[in-house]
């Protein structure tokens, strides 16, 4: 398999997992604090991480 494809695939997996974790954390914090606006910002940040 082409090394560049493998590297790009690994980067995609890394960023998607990071974004997923960020979104889950945002929801958990919202449930604890009730701060919907902060959660929306964090979910937006997670979306940018995913791409």
Spatial contact of 48 and 22, defined as CB atoms under 8 Å apart: no
* pLDDT per position as a tens digit, 3-32: 999 999 999 999 999 999 999 999 999 999
Q: State residue 17's pLDDT score.
A: 96
> In sequence order, what are the residues at sequence separation of 6 or more whose Cβ sits closer than 8 angstroms to the Cβ of residue 45?
22
- Band (pLDDT 50/70/90 cuts) for residue 33 is very high
Is position 40 within any domain? Answer: yes
For the four alpha carbons of 20, 22, 25 and 30, in that order, the dihedral sign comes to: negative
Give the distance, in angstroms, between the CA of residue 24 and the centroid of all CA atoms in the same chain: 8
The range of the structural domain enclosing residue 45 comes to 15-50
DSSP 34: -
Is the pLDDT at 40 greater than 80? The verdict is yes
The C-alpha atoms of residue 51 and residue 49 are separated, in whole angstroms, by 5
Compute the average pLDDT of residues 20-48.
97
* Predicted TM-score (pTM) of this structure: 0.82
The total number of structural domains that make up the chain: 1
Flag whether 46 is in a domain.
Answer: yes
């Amino acid at each position: 398999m082409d090394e560049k494809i493998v590297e790009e695939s690994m980067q995609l997996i890394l960023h998607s997992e990071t974004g997923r974790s960020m979104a889950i954390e945002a929801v958990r914090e919202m449930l604890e604090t009730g701060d919907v606006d902060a959660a929306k910002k964090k979910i937006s940040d997670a979306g940018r991480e995913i791409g």
